[in-house]
């Protein structure tokens, strides 16, 4: 029947009637409601819709803050959180508005839009605002009793560099430009925008023309004592602002969609934005903080407290120390062959001596194209002992891809096997020295079995591994010894790897988990069990070998493990299953739990640029949702979820994932521009440190666990391999 503006008008008329004794009441003549209806009918609806269509042009989607309610469930009655601003801030906001010719409504609406932007990490948001709907062109509209209010969308575009004062003025100007079109119905606007529901939150600024002094006077012995009101909206969240000596913020929310602590936190963040506005409105909006000091410290420091002592060393030094400790222990198992640590060390030393004779040393890239075999492990160690960095080349890759990698990496030496020469492009063998591990071994075996002298520094590269390129050109990631040593030592420590462990080497040499499957066991005294290509392609053969060779740690992609589960019914218990490289679904987790006897499952995450893995999660068996979380940062890594201004987003908010710390790669080989684009200065770390922009979307849970939520770009993954559409094109 009437809106909030009408209430004091109606009450004043009732009191006037009482004041006149209740009979032959004479009230001032008012504009009839039919005049308002006639005014609305006379408006140019086409022009109004065109104005709203222009205001919403380019908006890609509506803004939803609340999770979607379960279909079929009845809406729950709203609850309230009321926050009162202190007198000083309330007065400061009023003074700020006057100084800059801004309404208090504009300031509150803009602050709420900024809050939505930060909560959703979006720079284009829309929310509902309730307008009075009393046209100034209609005489007497301010004294009419009836329902005039209208709910309309308010869209804010929020480039991070825009000064706050400019945003405030722009918001007010755009609202003023739409004043003559506030009669258009929300349903018509949403239909014109063609985006479905535009918003699920509402801001109401209650600024009614109440003459409180008149209402408080006696009329024929009667006086109005107090007024109470109860209202609710059908929106999941509504902010009702009530001006006064102490500005009041009332949040009406659905308790089935939000918990009270979340709403209280939203309220405090809104107040923080209002304080920022009155303190310095010239600041870029991207620099405005909504996290309090404790929250910010927890996210940036508390959840990144991963420091562990690791000596600045190289992988050859770590392996040599282990070989000295356990010379007779088995280092490698392949079919019927075994290599002890002493034998592996001797063979690798001989190859290293030979490679140094070919000019291999620090900063030299050496191509490695061999089958998964003991020779691959010998060659990898031999290259590192010589001081070089190895470039893994999968013999099954297309010839053109192998030729490109060798040429792009400028590798002067290629290690391979006689049987693989025919698979290699002519360019691979004509422009560089080729070492055949089988045919040339009699010559190599004459070299001393002692470690060669190599001026190797932890900052020298250990390997170069190629990934797909967004520009169409594959790029080589260069990883230093310090990063590799940190990963092998700390992950081995975290997994409890010791001499009783047997770890399968299952991955392609061109897939970086293979590096972990080789280096981690070798620095911890464990045994590498090599699975050849033929076995790898037959699930039953895989399980037969795992049982036969007593493998107790298996590392692979979720999709690969899922493909071999049907043949897993009779296998012996597996101590530790490590999955990574792609999303692990809770459905697959449950399937694994039903079919495989496994004591421990770990989900790892990490792009190639962060030395294989950077984040890990030990599964507990009670995971919820569609996907298993990726977990917490691994030792000596730091992980951030940031917005477009590189500011940390609150827990629960989606942002882009950045990784910093000791595991970071040096960069892309011979690609300085691309390196500087993806490896950027870390504003939250020690001076001079860098962080890697992963391009992945993630969010923190309140328990400091990270959830992976897809990509910020068009990159896709297939069985753990990154594929850029640009390269395919």
pLDDT reported for residue 135:
86
Work out the pLDDT band at 474, boundaries 50, 70, 90.
Answer: confident
pLDDT confidence tier of residue 8, bands split at 50, 70 and 90: confident
Q: In this prediction, what percent of the chain has a pLDDT beyond 70?
A: 96
Q: Which of 113-127, 421-435, 537-551, 698-712 has the lowest mean pLDDT?
A: 421-435
| Residues 238-253, mean pLDDT to the nearest whole number | 93
Under 8 Å between Cβ of 706 and 698: yes
The tens digit of pLDDT for each residue in 313-325 reads 999 999 999 999 9
Q: How far apart are CA 495 and CA 493, in angstroms?
A: 5
Least confident segment among 48-52, 131-135, 332-336, 694-698: 131-135
Residue 232 pLDDT grade (very low, low, confident, very high; cuts 50, 70, 90): confident
**What is 476-507 written as a DSSP string?**
EEEEEHHHHHHHHHHHHHHHT--TT-EEEE-S
Q: What is the mean pLDDT of the chain?
A: 91
Q: What is the pLDDT of residues 446-462, one digit of tens each?
A: 999 999 998 999 999 99
pLDDT greater than 70 at residue 334:
yes
Read off the pLDDT band of 710 (50, 70, 90): confident
Task: Report how far residue 647's alpha carbon sits from residue 673's, in angstroms, rounded to the nearest whole number.
Answer: 24
pLDDT band at 568 (very low <50, low <70, confident <90, very high): confident
Place of tokens 């962060």: 610
Residue 167: the pLDDT is 96
How much is the average pLDDT of 617-631? Answer: 86
Specify whether the CB–CB gap between 529 and 502 falls below 8 A: yes
How much is the pLDDT for 191?
92
**Residue % of the chain over a pLDDT of 90:** 70
| Residues making up the chain, counted from first to last | 729
Task: Give the C-alpha separation, 562 to 593, whole Å.
Answer: 12
The pLDDT-based confidence of 22 (bands split at 50, 70, 90) is: low
The span from the CA of 188 to the CA of 635, in Å, is: 55
Is 380 in contact with 315 (CB distance < 8 Å)?
A: no
- Among the residue ranges 25-39, 183-197, 443-457, 632-646, the one predicted with the least confidence is 25-39
Q: How many Cα atoms sit within 13 Å of 398 on the Cβ side?
A: 3
Mean local confidence (pLDDT), 256-262: 92
What is the structure's pLDDT at 566? 83
Residue 76's pLDDT band, with cuts at 50, 70 and 90, is: confident
pLDDT of residue 5 exceeding 80:
yes
Please, which residues have CB within 8 angstroms of residue 433's CB and are 6 or more apart in sequence?
Answer: 358, 412, 413, 414
Distance CA 273, CA 428 (A): 61
Place of tokens 């299953």: 577
> Tell me, what's the pLDDT at 215?
67
Per-residue confidence band for 23, with pLDDT thresholds at 50, 70 and 90: low
pLDDT of residue 579: 96
285-289, 295-299, 662-666: which range is least confident on average? 285-289
pLDDT reported for residue 426: 77
Q: Is the pLDDT of residue 71 over 70?
A: no
513-536 pLDDT tens trace: 999 999 999 999 999 999 998 999
Q: How confident is the model at residue 67 (pLDDT cuts 50, 70, 90)?
A: confident
In the prediction, which pLDDT does 428 show?
65
- pLDDT, mean of residues 419-443: 86
Burial (0-12, 13-18, 19+ Cβ within 10 Å), 662: buried
What mean pLDDT is predicted for residues 431-445? 92
Which residue, among 627, 628, 678, 637, has the nearest Cα to 660 in the 3D structure?
A: 637
State the sign of the Cα–Cα–Cα–Cα dihedral 293, 294, 295, 301.
positive
Predicted local distance difference test score (pLDDT) of residue 430: 74
pLDDT at 662 over 90: yes
pLDDT of residue 720: 66
* 16: helix, strand or coil: helix
Determine the pLDDT at residue 70: 60
Rounded-to-integer distance, Cα 198 and Cα 151, Å: 12
pLDDT (mean) for 541-546: 92
**11 band by pLDDT with thresholds 50, 70 and 90:** confident
Under the banding of pLDDT at 50, 70 and 90, the label for residue 385 is very high
């Amino acid at each position: 029947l009437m809106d909030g503006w009408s209430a004091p008008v109606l009450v004043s008329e009732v009191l006037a009637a009482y004041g006149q004794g209740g009979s032959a009441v004479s009230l001032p003549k008012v504009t009839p409601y039919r005049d308002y209806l006639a005014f609305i009918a006379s408006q140019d609806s086409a022009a109004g819709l065109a104005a709203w269509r222009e205001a919403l042009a380019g908006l890609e989607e509506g803004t939803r803050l609340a999770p979607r309610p379960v279909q079929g469930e009845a809406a729950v009655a709203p609850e309230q959180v009321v926050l009162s601003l202190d007198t000083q801030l309330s007065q400061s906001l009023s003074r700020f508005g006057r100084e800059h010719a801004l309404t208090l409504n504009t300031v509150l609406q803009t602050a709420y839009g900024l809050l939505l932007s930060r909560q959703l990490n979006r720079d284009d948001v829309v929310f509902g605002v309730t307008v009075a709907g009393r046209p100034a062109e209609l005489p007497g509209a301010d004294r009419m009793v009836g329902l005039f209010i209208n709910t309309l969308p308010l869209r804010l575009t929020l480039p991070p560099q825009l000064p706050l004062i400019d945003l405030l003025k722009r918001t007010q100007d755009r609202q003023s430009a739409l004043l003559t079109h506030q009669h258009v119905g929300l349903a018509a606007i949403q239909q014109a925008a063609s985006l479905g529901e535009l918003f699920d939150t509402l801001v109401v600024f209650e600024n009614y023309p109440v003459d409180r002094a008149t209402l408080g006077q006696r009329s024929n012995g009667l006086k109005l004592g107090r007024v109470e009101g109860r209202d609710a909206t059908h929106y999941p969240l509504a902010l009702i602002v009530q001006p006064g000596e102490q500005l009041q913020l009332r949040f009406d929310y659905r308790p089935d969609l939000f918990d009270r602590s979340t709403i209280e936190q939203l309220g405090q963040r809104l107040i923080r934005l209002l304080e920022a506005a009155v303190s310095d409105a010239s600041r870029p909006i991207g620099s405005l903080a909504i996290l309090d000091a404790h929250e910010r410290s927890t996210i940036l420091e508390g959840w990144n407290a991963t420091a562990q002592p690791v000596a600045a060393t190289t992988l050859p030094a770590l392996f040599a120390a282990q070989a000295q400790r356990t010379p007779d222990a088995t280092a490698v198992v392949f079919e019927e062959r075994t290599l002890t640590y002493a034998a592996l060390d001797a063979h690798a030393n001989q190859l290293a001596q030979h490679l140094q004779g070919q000019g291999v040393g620090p900063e030299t890239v050496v191509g490695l194209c061999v089958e998964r075999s003991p020779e691959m492990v010998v060659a990898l160690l031999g290259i590192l002992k010589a001081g070089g960095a190895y470039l893994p080349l999968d013999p099954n890759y297309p010839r053109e891809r192998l030729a490109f990698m060798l040429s792009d990496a400028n590798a002067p030496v290629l290690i391979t096997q006689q049987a693989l020469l025919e698979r290699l492009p002519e360019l691979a063998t004509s422009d560089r020295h080729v070492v055949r591990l089988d045919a040339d071994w009699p010559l190599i075996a004459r070299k001393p079995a002692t470690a060669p002298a190599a001026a190797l520094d932890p900052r020298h590269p250990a390997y170069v591994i190629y990934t797909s390129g967004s520009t169409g050109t594959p790029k080589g990631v260069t990883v230093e010894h310090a990063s590799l040593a940190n990963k092998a030592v700390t992950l081995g420590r975290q997994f409890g790897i010791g001499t009783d462990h047997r770890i399968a080497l299952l991955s392609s040499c061109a897939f970086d988990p293979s590096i972990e499957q080789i280096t981690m066991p070798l620095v911890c005294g464990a045994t590498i069990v090599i699975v050849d290509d033929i076995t790898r392609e037959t699930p039953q053969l895989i399980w037969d070998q795992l049982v036969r060779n007593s493998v107790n740690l298996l590392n692979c992609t979720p999709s690969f493990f899922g493909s071999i589960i049907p043949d897993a019914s009779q296998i012996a218990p597996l101590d530790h299953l490590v999955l990574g490289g792609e999303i692990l679904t809770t459905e697959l987790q449950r399937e694994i739990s039903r079919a495989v006897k496994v004591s421990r499952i770990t989900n790892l995450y990490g792009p190639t640029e962060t030395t294989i893995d950077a984040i890990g999660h030990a599964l507990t068996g009670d995971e919820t949702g569609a996907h298993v979380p990726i977990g917490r940062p691994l030792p000596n890594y730091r992980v951030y979820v940031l917005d477009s201004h590189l500011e940390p987003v609150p827990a629960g908010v989606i942002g882009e994932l950045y990784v910093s710390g000791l595991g970071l790669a040096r960069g892309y080989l011979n690609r300085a521009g691309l390196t500087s684009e993806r490896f950027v200065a870390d504003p939250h770390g020690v001076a001079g440190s860098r962080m890697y922009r992963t391009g992945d979307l993630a969010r923190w849970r309140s328990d400091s666990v990270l959830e992976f939520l897809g990509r910020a770009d068009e990159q896709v993954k297939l069985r753990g391999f990154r594929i850029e559409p640009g390269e395919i094109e």
